[in-house]
Structure 1
């Protein structure tokens, strides 16, 4: 699976315009290999729009970019509403298990998203991946309201990782942070493995939610 992360810094006063233009990406639901798109406004940076899309294969994504992307983008009129955009692609390494069994279902019903991005020391990559599988995945799966997600690595830099998880609500995520996260952190010790760690969280904008037409 391919994960596309899009971060747009929207111009002051243009949030409403961007919001409306983002709704124009509904045609994605008819594109071959498309698994879903979800987005919202960053909790930490209110003028930053966070959008994630999911594709079955690199071939499917590449074909979309060649044949469909530009037409949808131009029709949306979105370019005039933001001052900068950052786009990055990731390849799934592990599924993050939860109440739902695939990413399409997560996109369909998640109301809150948490993303962690880590640049990992080269000699710690194996340990970092092991901790994700043995500690974080196990701990999050037990957390009420955790729907599932994906653990992936950057196509540009193999030591850059992205962990995307969908939650039923912000309250369920907050309970996880208070009740489960501290113990998992103590066990996994990620700060021993990473050079840089950052993240983003957002409440899902329902109007931006897109999933395949046959789902």
Structure 2
């Protein structure tokens, strides 16, 4: 599965939200698996959208045919758009499905990992982080993906911001030390996203 992560700074919130609903047109697209998103909790003008496709071939075909027509509805409503594509490597918890209806927030972490540490980082994700996240109250589902150049994405869906916050306070520092995360990671960015139900396709 291909994961698409879009971040942008919104300059016309109402126009952007109206345009976001037009993406319902994705539903007939071959290989499309689901899409959702919402607003950053850290910066009120930043929107995140997560899209899922069966394969790169289906995604490329959509980009060549229908994308620009659907995107036209949001023209002029945002700036500073960043688009990243990742290949799904494994689930956090089990049976990841690109569904957004049973979660309130998404935590997204984007890591650039030192080349010689990529294998260790991936292993620690499976052995340390995944079991801890999967066992945390309120964690619904998640995935781990990668892209060329030592880039990794960890996406986790939570029932509430409070439950994710408790996990962060109680466990992250301890897990980070156990997984030697500081030695693996060259750079990390992330956000917590309040999901908007009207953006779900």
User: Which range, TM-score by smaller chain?
Assistant: over 0.9
The aligned counterpart of 2:57 is: 59
- Residue range with higher mean Cα deviation, 166-175 or 121-130: 166-175
**SS of residue paired to 2:43:** coil
Q: Does 1:199 align with 2:190?
A: yes
CA distance, structure 2, for counterparts of residue 121 and residue 182 of structure 1: 20
CA distance, structure 1, for counterparts of residue 21 and residue 51 of structure 2: 14
The aligned counterpart of 2:92 is: 96
- Does the 8 Å CA contact 1:143/1:180 hold for their aligned counterparts? no
- Select which of 179, 190, 193 maps to 1:188: 179
- Residue range with higher mean Cα deviation, 173-182 or 128-137: 173-182
CA distance, structure 2, for counterparts of residue 95 and residue 36 of structure 1: 16
> Please, what TM-score do these two structures have when normalized by structure 2?
0.95
The aligned counterpart of 1:21 is: 19
CA distance, structure 1, for counterparts of residue 43 and residue 97 of structure 2: 26
Where structure 1 has 5 or more consecutive residues not aligned to the other structure, the ranges are 211-215
Deviations 1:68-107 (A, max 9, x none): 2122112x2x111112211111111221115xx22233x3
Q: Does 1:110 align with 2:103?
A: yes
Q: RMSD over aligned Cα, in angstroms?
A: 1.3
The aligned counterpart of 1:121 is: 114
**SS of residue paired to 1:103:** coil
